Amino acid sequence: MNNQQKIRVCLIVEGAYPYVFGGVSIWIQQLISDLPEIDFVLWTVIPEKGQPYKFKLPGNVVEVEEIALSEKLRSGKRKRHVQSQWEIIRNFHNQLERGNVDQFESFCRQFIPHEPRALAPENLFRDFQGWQLITEKYNLHHPISPFVQYYWAWRAVHIPLFQMLQAPIPQADVYHAVSTGYAGFLGAIAKVVNRKPFLLTEHGIYTKEREIEINQSELYVGYQKRMWKKNFRGLARIAYAHADLIIALFRRNQEIQIQMGAPPERCQVIPNGIRVRDFQDIKPKPHKGFNVGFIGRMVPIKDVKNFIMAARIIKDEISAAHFYLIGPQEERDDYYQELLLMVDNLELKNEITFTGEVDVKKYFPILDVLCLSSIKEAQPLSVIEALVAGVPVVATDVGDVADILQNDGIVVSPKKPDKMAEGVIQFATDPKFRKRCIQWGRARARRDYDLDKIIQRYRELYQRYGTKEVVQWRA
C-alpha cells in the first residue's frame, strides 16, 4: 500500500450494524466515526436483502457489500473434478472433527469461484464422491436417524458456508470481523484468498451464544442440534486459527477463547469504553431522600424483578428510599406489565418511578446508588458511566462486572435480592466506604475505560496491520 493512500478496513458484521440497534452496532458506529482518516468497507451477513439502516453511515464508509442468507446459491457450471480434490475435502472434514483446521486453506481453494479447478457447490450435493462423503458422516454419527432428514439438515448447515465461499471479497488492507460464526469465516477466507491481515474482535462469545439459542430451539431434534453446534464450534476454530489478532473485551472472555482454541500469543484484551468527558463533570445535586437507580431495558435478561424485590427490602430498612427504573419499556410490553403488577403487589407504587427512555446523564446527579440486576451481560457501560459520574454501584456478578468494580463497588450473585439490598443499605449507612468507592472507582474508570484511548488503540492496530502482507498461500 502506498503510504499516501488511506488505509482501507473491511469490517465484517453478522446480523448487527447498520440494520439493528444494540451494543455492537453502537460500538461500530463510534469506531468508524472516530477514525475519519480511515476508509471503511462494510461486509455484512443478513437474513435477507432490503433491510433498512438504523444508523446513518459516516462519510468514510465507502462501500457496503451484503450476503443474504435467504438467497439461493448462485448456480454454476458443474465442473469435472479430480480425485485429489475430493481427498482434500474429505481430509478437511475429518481433521476438523478432531479440532484441526490446518487443511482449511486447501479446502477453501476448492470452492473459490476464480480458481481454475473450483468445484461448484452442486458437485458436493450431486456427485458420487459428494454423496459418499455425506453418507460416511451419516453412518458414522447418526445411523439411527432417517437419512432424508439427515441430508436436509446437513445441507442447511453447509449452504450458508458455500454462500460465503462464493461471495466476492471486497478489497481492503485489513479485514476485521466483529464475531466468529459467519463473519469470522469470511475473515479467514479473505486472509487466505487476498493475503491480507485478519483481526477478530468478540464482544461476547458467539459460539456460546449460538449454543444457548440452539438448545432452546424447538426447530431441531437432538442430532440436528449437535450438528449445528459442531458447525459453529468449527467456524470458531477456523477464525481463531487464521486471525492475526484475537481481541476480547475482558479477561474472562479471553480465557474462554483460549479454551476454545485461540492461540494465547495472539490474544489481547481491549475493553469497551465511554466518552469520559461526557460524565466526568457530573456533580451531585441536593435532593430529598435516598435515591436508588436501575438503568437498562425492561426485559427479562436484565432481571428487573430482582431489583424490585430488592427495593421492597430496602424500603423496609430505609424509609426515605425512592427508586428510579431508567430505560425503554416498549421492547417487551408483556414483561413491563408484569413489572407494574409486581410493583402494585409489593405496595411500591409511590416509591418507584418508571422514567422510560431518557438521557441518563440527567439522573446521575440525584442518584445515591446504581444497581445492576442482570443475569447476563458482557461489559455493561451503565456501570462504567456510574463510576465516572461518581455514583457507587451494586451489581450482579455477570460478564466483566467484577473486574470493572474490583474493590470499588459491591458485587452480588444474580437472583439474590436480599444480597443486593444489603449492598445498597451498606452504601447508605457507611459513608466512609461509600466515599472511598466513589473516589477510587471514578479514577480507575477514567483511566481504563476512556473511549478516546480505546479508539486510539484500534487506530494503531489498523496502522500497524494495514501495511502488512501475508505470506502467499502455497498449494
> Which residues span the domain enclosing 416?
276-449
Spatial CA neighbour of 43 closest among 236, 175, 141, 148:
175
Put the strands of the sheet holding 410-412 in their side by side order: 352-356, 321-326, 290-295, 369-372, 393-396, 410-412
- 473 part of a folded domain: no
Spatial CA neighbour of 383 closest among 321, 322, 445:
445
- 193 part of a folded domain: yes
Judged on CB neighbours under 10 Å (0-12, 13-18, 19+), 83 is exposed
Residue pLDDT, tens place only, 74-126: 655 555 556 677 788 888 888 888 888 888 988 888 887 776 677 777 767 77
Residue pLDDT, tens place only, 320-372: 999 999 999 988 999 999 999 999 999 999 999 999 989 999 999 999 999 99
**How many C-beta neighbours within 10 Å does residue 146 have?**
10
Q: What secondary structure does DSSP assign to 366-393, as a single string?
A: G-SEEEE--S--SS-HHHHHHHHHT--E
- 1 part of a folded domain: no
Can you give the pLDDT at residue 90? 80
Alpha-carbon span 16 to 21, nearest angstrom:
7
Beta-strand (E) ranges in 207-320? 245-248, 267-269, 290-295
Asked whether the CA dihedral 228, 229, 234, 240 is positive or negative, the reply is: positive
Are 300 and 251 found together in one domain? no
- 162 part of a folded domain: no
Compute CA distances 16 → 45, 46, 132, 183, 207, whole Å: 9, 8, 38, 11, 16
Are 56 and 135 found together in one domain? no
- 471 part of a folded domain: no
Q: Are 322 and 291 in contact (CB under 8 A)?
A: yes
Are 343 and 438 found together in one domain? yes
Compute CA distances 140 → 29, 145, 201, 233, whole Å: 46, 11, 35, 19
- 217 part of a folded domain: yes
Are 232 and 103 found together in one domain? no
Dihedral (Cα; 122, 126, 128, 132), 10-degree rounding: 90
Alpha-carbon span 198 to 245, nearest angstrom:
7
The three cell numbers of residue 152 are 436436509
Are 352 and 416 found together in one domain? yes
Spatial CA neighbour of 457 closest among 468, 445, 449:
449
* Helices vs. strands in the chain: H and E counts, helices first: 18, 13
Question: Which CATH number fits the domain that encloses residue 57?
Answer: 3.40.50.2000
- 316 part of a folded domain: yes
Are 41 and 179 found together in one domain? yes
Radius of gyration of the chain (CA): 25
Spatial CA neighbour of 202 closest among 383, 429, 460, 399:
399
Q: Are 173 and 466 in contact (CB under 8 A)?
A: yes
Q: Are 367 and 382 in contact (CB under 8 A)?
A: no
Compute CA distances 127 → 90, 131, 149, 236, 328, whole Å: 14, 6, 19, 29, 54
- Euclidean distance between the first and final Cα of the chain, in Å? 26
Tens-binned pLDDT, residue by residue, of the chain (475 aa) = 555 689 999 999 998 899 987 788 989 999 999 999 999 999 999 999 989 999 999 999 999 999 999 887 765 555 555 667 778 888 888 888 888 888 898 888 888 777 667 777 776 777 777 788 889 888 988 788 888 888 888 889 989 998 999 899 999 999 999 999 999 999 999 999 999 999 999 998 999 889 988 888 877 777 888 889 999 999 999 999 999 999 999 999 999 999 999 999 999 999 999 999 999 999 999 999 999 999 999 999 999 999 999 999 999 999 999 999 999 998 899 999 999 999 999 999 999 999 998 999 999 999 999 999 999 888 999 999 999 999 999 999 999 999 999 999 999 999 999 999 999 999 999 999 999 999 999 999 999 999 999 999 999 999 999 987 655 444 3
Kindly report the pTM of this predicted structure: 0.86
Are 254 and 340 found together in one domain? no
Indicate the number of domains in the chain: 3
Angle at 85 between CA 81 and CA 88, to 5 degrees: 165
According to DSSP, residue 67 is labeled E
Judged on CB neighbours under 10 Å (0-12, 13-18, 19+), 226 is middle
Q: Are 465 and 244 in contact (CB under 8 A)?
A: yes
The three cell numbers of residue 195 are 493475503
- 436 part of a folded domain: yes
Are 212 and 358 found together in one domain? no
Domain final position from 157, 176, 206: 157
Domain final position from 110, 134, 157: 157
Alpha-carbon span 307 to 294, nearest angstrom:
8
Compute CA distances 371 → 40, 292, 386, whole Å: 38, 7, 10
The three cell numbers of residue 324 are 428510579
Are 180 and 144 found together in one domain? no
Residue pLDDT, tens place only, 364-395: 999 999 999 999 888 999 999 999 999 999 99
Are 313 and 294 found together in one domain? yes
Are 325 and 370 found together in one domain? yes
Are 459 and 439 found together in one domain? no
